[in-house]
Amino acid sequence: MKSEPCYILGVSAFYHDSAAALLCDGIIVAAVQEERFTRKKADDSFPEHSIRWLLSEAGIGLEDLNAIVFYDKPFLKFERLLETYHHFLPKGLRSFLISIPIWIKDKLFFRRLLKNAFDKIGSDYPKILFAEHHLSHAASAFYPSPFEDAAILTIDGVGEWGTTVIGKGCGRDITFIKEIRFPHSLGLLYSAFTYYCGFRVNSGEYKLMGLAPYGNPDSDRTREYIDKIKTHVIDIKSDGSFLLNMAYFNYAVGLTMSQDSKWETLFGLKRRLPESDLSEAYMDLALAIQTVTEDIVLKLAQTASALTGSENLVMAGGVALNCVANGKLKQQPIFKNIWIQPASGDAGGALGAALCAWHIYLKEDRVVQTPDSMSGSYLGPSYCRRDNLNTFRKYGAVFKHYASDDLLIADVIPQLEAGKVIGWFQGSMEFGPRALGNRSIIGDPRQPDMQKKLNLKIKFREGFRPFAPIVKEEAVSLFFDYTGDSPYMLMVAPVKESIRRPLPDRYHELPLAQRLYHLRSDLPAITHVDYSARLQTVSKTTNFKLWALLDAFEMVSGYPILINTSFNVRGEPIVCTPEDAYRCFMRTDMDILVIENFLLIREDQPPFEDIQNWRDTYVLD
């Protein structure tokens, strides 16, 4: 007689990027971030919408769950806060008076807070378990990976106490070997530089990473910044461990990241105000901290290899989203194989917490899957044709339905060649911060003005921000110095010399606009200023429709490559529903919207002649 299925719900909340994930007998059913439903970027609230959707998707109620697991241990975090404030007394009194009453009122009685939140969904549910923060990260990295054993490296801001952990995964077991503890944190160091360069902490770190290549690696100023960081700000040991000079930081007990006056004295540079002009000095400073970060990551990886003896590495935590550092790590002969959790931040902690319960608490064995068990990270909601049609008719949209993917792609390809920008909405939404081809904006990377058009007229964001290429998996090494796959857009690699174009003399002395829009390769829209690109490889088995689009584009252009950027505008989460997609489409200068096999256009700018025959060309059965 078949036993009842075992359902486990993982939850992360109350810091940033709240999320929920559901397992059935250890298999990932689905996972989603709360921001996608509430439309509040990096939403930190209890993920009620996410949980309701997961239960509906699985056809179960709270009473059917066997376990609920939260992704960290609030009491240990509270202990850390108290000890930190005590250590730094009398500094931090203002922060203490703000944060501690909130903890005493709400978070100290955390189990009750969670119980009240779950009571809004249902009255019957299992005991709530708690996993340590970095164990959740480690579990999210190791258990879905394709490795029987692996070194584990998790790096982020801070959990309860840990900020960096080296461990080993083998079978169903995870063992921690080394740990760096708060306040010494590579994630918070990088966030402090993010703050000082005028970007928002917890969301602007990838902007700092994108700005770094505009710095001049050969300039005396960049070398001076690197030297000052390593001499005054952080003491880096040979094994990758480090100590921060807390005299330069304010995050432990203050309300800001850095001691601005000390930074200004050290670097000779005032903190940049958000949205103000970017001078060469901030570009060099961004390059300096990126270089220091890469150095630390490489040293930590070498130590992880020596301590574990494994030829495989898995990574998670916010710093694991630094795809430039990941690319440098892959180029080194430290590990044979590297796998990085696509939802490496706190959202992925929900998944890791659920996996902890299955493999550690319930002691269930792993079933290792190839290429991994993340389903291409397409773990979120999908929508049926009735949902689509209801949206189109609600807004009076002009649409056309195609009977097959081939017919749709045949009409899309000429529009891409003509330089049109296309919203591409397909299947299940991605879990994690990257759009991987189901909630994407796509375009022709050969177009010289495509980067500028996408940044300024579609995404409404800074012009220096780079765009990622999607490429057929089997063709990646023809155009990039890269072997293997990169399905989650977490690796940066150089473009091939064969498609590069030469840079002018004294390139780094040119104004930003001239460097930004100089034609650096045959694919200028996806080639960053240092000849690099953030790769996403597309597999025929994982996302056939997207692969077929790339294949068809190759037939007419010679390049199986398109731009892929997330389907959203600045300040908003990636779109979730057809209605989100349509509203975003109409608010921007996007030319075409494709939702499943429906193609939508603007009536005032028709790209096809038979527009009058489009409306209501599809009849719902």
The per-residue DSSP string of 483-513 comes to -S--TTS-EEEEBPGGGB-PPPTTGGGS-HH
Instruction: Specify the pTM.
Output: 0.94
**41 CB-near residues (< 8 Å, 6+ apart):** 35, 203, 571, 572, 573
Task: Give residue 100's identity as a one-letter amino acid code.
Answer: I
Instruction: Respond yes or no on whether the N-terminal peptide bond of residue 213 is cis (omega within 30° of 0).
Output: no
Amino acid identity for residue 570 in this structure: R
Q: Which are the contacts of 368, defined by CB distance < 8 A and separation ≥ 6?
A: 145, 146, 147, 148
Same fold flag, 7-142+343-373 and 180-340: yes
Question: Looking at residue 464, what is its pLDDT?
Answer: 80
Q: What are the sequence ranges of the domains in the chain?
A: 7-142+343-373, 180-340, 385-465+539-613
Per-residue pLDDT for 544 more than 70? yes
For residue 124, give the 3-state DSSP assignment: coil
Tokens representing 552 are: 């068809």
Going by pLDDT thresholds of 50, 70 and 90, the confidence category of residue 256 is: confident
Domain 7-142+343-373 is of which CATH architecture? 2-Layer Sandwich (3.30)
Q: What is the DSSP string of 436-491?
A: -SSEEEEE-TT-TTHHHHIIIIIS---TT---EEEEEGGGHHHHBS--S--TTS-E
Question: What is the torsional sign of CA 388, 391, 394, 400?
Answer: negative
| Count helices and strands in the chain by DSSP H and E runs | 20, 21
Alpha helices (runs of H) in 176-277, residue ranges in sequence order: 186-196, 205-211, 220-228, 260-267
- Residue 620 clears pLDDT 50, i.e. is over it: no
In this predicted structure, what is the pLDDT of residue 608? 61
Q: What is the mean pLDDT of the chain?
A: 92
What does the alpha-carbon distance between residue 197 and residue 205 come to, in Å, rounded to a whole number?
10
Per-residue pLDDT, averaged over 552-572, amounts to: 96
Phi-psi sector, 376: left (phi>0), alpha (psi -120 to 50), beta: left
- Higher-confidence residue of 450 and 518: namely 450
What number of residues does the chain have?
621
Q: How far apart are CA 349 and CA 371, in angstroms?
A: 21
- Beta-strand pair 398-401/422-425: unpaired
Per-residue pLDDT band for 621 (boundaries 50, 70, 90) equals: very low
Calculate the alpha carbon distances from 415 to 75, 392, 418, 459, 498 in Å: 56, 21, 5, 20, 27
> Which residues lie closer than 8 Å to 33 by C-beta, 6 or more apart?
17, 18, 19, 43, 47, 50, 347, 431, 573
pLDDT in tens, 470-521: 999 999 999 999 999 999 999 999 999 999 999 888 777 777 777 777 889 9
For residue 461, the model assigns a pLDDT of: 77
What CATH architecture does domain 180-340 belong to?
2-Layer Sandwich (3.30)
Q: Which CATH architecture has domain 385-465+539-613?
A: Alpha-Beta Complex (3.90)
pLDDT number for residue 317: 97
pLDDT above 70: percentage of residues in the chain: 91
CB-based contact 286:215 (threshold 8 Å):
yes
Phi, psi (deg, nearest 5) at residue 179: -145, 140
**The dihedral formed by the CA atoms of 349, 354, 355 and 361, expressed in degrees to the nearest 10:** 120
103 vs 354, more confident? 354
Separation CA 183–CA 81 (nearest Å): 11
Task: Specify the higher pLDDT residue, 585 or 113.
Answer: 585
Residue 42 pLDDT more than 60?
yes
Task: Calculate mean pLDDT across residues 404-422.
Answer: 97
State mean pLDDT over 278-299: 97
- β-pair type (439-443, 422-425): antiparallel
Q: How much is the pLDDT for 524?
A: 93
- Residue 105 pLDDT class (50, 70, 90 cuts): low
Q: Which of 100-109, 198-207, 359-368 has the highest mean pLDDT?
A: 359-368
Is the model more confident about 109 or about 453?
453
Residue 609 has pLDDT above 70, yes or no: no
Cα gap 172→355, rounded to integer Å: 10
Residue 460: the pLDDT is: 80
Inter-residue contact 133 to 147 (CB < 8 Å): no
